[in-house]
């Protein structure tokens, strides 16, 4: 059973480490996102820079960020950046 229905702003709060992110993060494993909200999240990520969002998520989760973009490797983002090629 889903724990919550997430609005685009809730997902973006987690990705950007904004206030309220912890509450959303606890609900993520069983949460659902509506078909209308998912493209809204994608559009905002593209608009504000998907790279930053990916790095923020990797940092938040303590996971490496995998990319083919060599420019990331020069960044001091506090994230383990691994080039895939």
Q: What's the pLDDT tens digit per position in 29-73?
A: 999 999 999 899 888 877 667 788 888 889 989 999 998 888 887
User: What residues make up the domain containing 10?
Assistant: 5-83
pLDDT of residue 48: 65
pTM above 0.85, yes or no: no
Instruction: Please count the structural domains in the chain.
Output: 1
Neighbours of 30 (CB within 10 A): 10
Half-sphere exposure of 18 (CA within 13 A, CB side): 10
At residue 26, does pLDDT exceed 90?
yes
pLDDT of residue 62: 94
Query: Which distant-in-sequence residues (6+ apart) come within 8 Å of 45 by Cβ?
Result: 12, 15, 53
At residue 7, does pLDDT exceed 70?
yes
For residues 15 and 11, give the distance between their C-alpha atoms in angstroms, rounded to a whole number. Answer: 6
């Amino acid at each position: 059973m889903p724990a919550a229905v997430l609005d685009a702003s809730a997902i973006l709060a987690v990705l950007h480490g904004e206030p309220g992110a912890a509450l959303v993060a606890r609900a993520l494993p069983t949460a659902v996102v509506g078909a209308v909200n998912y493209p809204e999240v994608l559009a905002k990520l593209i608009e504000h820079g998907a790279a930053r969002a990916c790095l923020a998520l990797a940092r938040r989760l303590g996971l490496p960020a995998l990319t083919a973009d060599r420019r990331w490797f020069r960044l001091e983002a506090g994230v383990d950046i691994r080039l895939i090629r």
